[in-house]
Structure formats: structure tokens, C-alpha cells
Amino acid sequence: MTPTMMLSTILREAGSARPYADSRPLTFEQIPVPVPRAGEVLVRIERASLCHSDLSVIDGSRQRPLPMALGHEAAGTVAGLGDGIDDLELGDRVVLVFVPSCGDCRACRAGRPALCHRGAEANGTGDLLHGSAVLVGGAGERINHHLGVSAFSQYAVVARESVVVIDQDVPFEVAAMFGCAALTGIGAVLGTGALAPGQSVIVFGLGAVGLMAVMAAAQVDGTTVIAIDPLPEKQALAVRCGADHAGSPEQAAELVNTHAGDGVDLAIEAVGSARVMEASLALLTRGGALVSVGLPHPEQTITTPALQFAGLGRRLLGSYMGDAVPSRDIPAYLQLWRDGKLPVELLHTDTRPLADLNESLDALVAGEVVRRLFVLQDE
């Protein structure tokens, strides 16, 4: 039976000083379990992952309406259904998706649901696709939703369009990473970047998204995969994920020159840095493409020779959520995992209780974790 109250993680003020273990920007509060409206689903959250997109809201680089219940990468089970939903059942195991697609806007009609206009608008205002926010604090105040999910809570009401049903035997620790990291990293390589057999790719930034990109690139026949990160331990992990060569940012140009000749066919920028974007463009061969998946601070700008685009045929491509179609791609990517081609378990650093979230923010900043998952229920 669904309880009437739940534990939820709330951010009430952005820009707290580090270390977060001391400033403790996230509070853990008991709030009412929301009730799904027409077109909405109540999900019991089983595992939720900590991602840099959560951190970008906490440090203020991605401004969102506050107070907000954070968390956007998670898996759980269907615990309640709003009116009009007849294709889900209670107990279905689901992955949550941080862009709900309306199916009828310009982007959705073009087959690009990750860029849904209505979904982006709702995410920006802290609402849900089918209506205003349903979360309420202890004093009766509105609590905004994070990317239509708010997964650092024991329960979440989300739009039907924010869930993808998966098989019951997929472990929650695996499933949780497919709602953001897998869609973004794999989609950047196989979707946006369209990496072809025999081509070369360099991946800058070896967090979960970058390592997912490495895994995806390693599945394409005859590719050369170069992985770049300042931390030696992440370089070593990238090799375990399928990279042929790994090194530091200072070694990137030499690795490309040695293993990809006059440049790589594809560069994946998963750092969120304008300077890394500029450096990535300079490492492309003629006709090569840079796919930007990181989230630089809004004030960052890039400066790069304009002639390289028409003169060398280079391309700069933005990729939000890997240009994914979640209902299609999550099952397909999970099949790659079943086939042993996506060893995503390598990215699972550990699993902690929700109370460890503030301290875990510091570990994420320091690069000590790739994907730390959190238990939301009593086990």
C-alpha cells in the first residue's frame, strides 16, 4: 500500500559553498506523496543516480526555479496510474526519462523527441508535461520538479511520456543508468555522431556519459577509440570499457597524431568546457565532427577559426540526450548490455543511502565517483 508521506530531497538555495558536506545544500524532508492526474504515473523509486546535471543546479550554473526536488536519473516500479493510461500495469519496472515528449510539437513531429518544445518548457518552469507541479512542502509551499522526474524522493509523479517499461529481470542498479548516461553517451556516438566502421573517435571527459560513449564506439567495427581525462584511474577504466588508447589532455594531440593520422573522424566533448570544445575541433580530420554533450556554464563562449567549417568541412553538433528516442533506444541499448557489449556495471561506483547525498556531491566534483547510486526505500 502506498504511504501518504515520503522522504524527498529538496534544494532550497543554489550556490552553496564547497565542501558540500559542510554547507549541506540538500535537505531531506517528509512531504505528501503526490497523486497522479490524467496522463501521469506514480513511480516508486528504487534506485537513483547522481549526475553532473544535478550538480549544475546545486552550484547555480543551471538556473532552475527553487525550491526543487532534485534527481533525474532513476528506475523504479509503477505504483499508481492516472486517468487515461491503459498501457501500463501496477508493478511494471520502468526507467525514467528526463525529457517528456508531447508527440505533437515541431521537434517531436520531426522525430527528435529529445528536443520536445513542450517538454523543455515544462522542465524549465519546474512543472510536468500535463500540468503544474504536484509536489508540496511541509508548510504547503510549491516544490518544483527537476526535469519532470525528481528522483531523489521515495515516490515521483511523472508524465506517462517520462517512463519506459523494461523487463523485470533488469537490476535496478543497471536500469537506473539508462535514463540519462546511456541515452546521452551512446546516442552521441551512434545517433548524433553516426560513427561508421573503420573511423576514429576521441572522447574528452570520462564520467559516466563519456565512458558510455567509449563503450558505444568500441562496438563499431574497426574503430580506433581514444579516451582523454586528467585522472589516471579514469583512463584505466576507459580501457576496460573498450578504449584502445587513453591519456591526459596534454597527451591528446600526440595520441591523435600517432593513432589517427591527420585527425579523428569524431570527437565527443563530455566535459562541459568551451576550451575543450575548441581543442576538440582542432583535432578533427577534414570532414570530421565534434559532438558537444557537456553543459558549459552559460557565460562560456568559444573562439575558433571560422574557415574550418566551410574550408575543411568540419562540423560542430549539439546533442541533447543523445538525440535519443527513449522508447526505442532504451530497449535497444539494454539488449546490447544483455549481449555483453555494454559493461555498464563498470560505471557503478557504489550504492549509498540517500542521507549521503551532500557528501557525495564533493566526491563527484573530485572525480572520485562515476555513478553513485542511492537506495530510496527501506531494504
Phi and psi angles of residue 50, each rounded to the nearest 5 degrees, phi first: -95, 130
Do 110 and 244 belong to one domain?
no
Do 11 and 142 belong to one domain?
yes
Q: Encode pLDDT of 150-182 as tens digits.
A: 999 999 999 999 999 999 999 999 999 999 999
Q: Encode pLDDT of 261-295 as tens digits.
A: 999 999 999 999 999 999 999 999 999 999 999 99
Do 217 and 353 belong to one domain?
no
In a domain, 296, yes or no: yes
Do 301 and 363 belong to one domain?
no
Task: Classify residue 3 by burial, with Cβ atoms within 10 Å: 0-12, 13-18, 19+.
Answer: exposed
Helix axes 232-240, 208-218, angle to 10 degrees: 30
CATH number for 232: 3.40.50.720
Amino acid letter for position 58: I
Do 88 and 225 belong to one domain?
no
Q: For residue 147, which of 84, 31, 232, 53 has the smallest C-alpha distance?
A: 53
Tally of domains within the chain: 2
Is it the case that residue 1 has pLDDT exceeding 90? no
Q: Of all helices (H) and strands (E), which one includes residue 236?
A: helix 232-240
For residue 284 the three cell numbers come to 578533427
Distance CA 27, CA 123 (A): 21
- Enter the pTM of the model: 0.96
Confidence band (pLDDT; 50, 70, 90) for 378? Answer: confident
Do 296 and 351 belong to one domain?
no
Do 303 and 348 belong to one domain?
no
**DSSP category for residue 37:** -
Do 158 and 11 belong to one domain?
yes
The residue segments making up the domain with residue 222 are: 184-320
Q: Three-class SS of residue 128?
A: strand
- Average pLDDT in the chain: 97
CATH number for 10: 3.90.180.10
Confidence band (pLDDT; 50, 70, 90) for 6? Answer: very high
pLDDT at 149: 98
In a domain, 330, yes or no: no
Answer whether 373's CB lies under 8 Å from 348's CB.
yes
In a domain, 327, yes or no: no
- Residues in contact with 194: Cβ distance below 8 Å, sequence separation at least 6, in sequence order: none
Residue 346 has a CB neighbour count (10 Å cut-off) of 16
User: Strand runs (DSSP E) across the chain, as ranges?
Assistant: 5-11, 26-32, 40-49, 68-69, 73-81, 93-96, 135-136, 142-145, 155-159, 163-166, 200-204, 224-228, 245-247, 264-269, 284-292, 315-318, 348-353, 371-375
Do 38 and 67 belong to one domain?
yes
In a domain, 307, yes or no: yes
Do 154 and 196 belong to one domain?
no
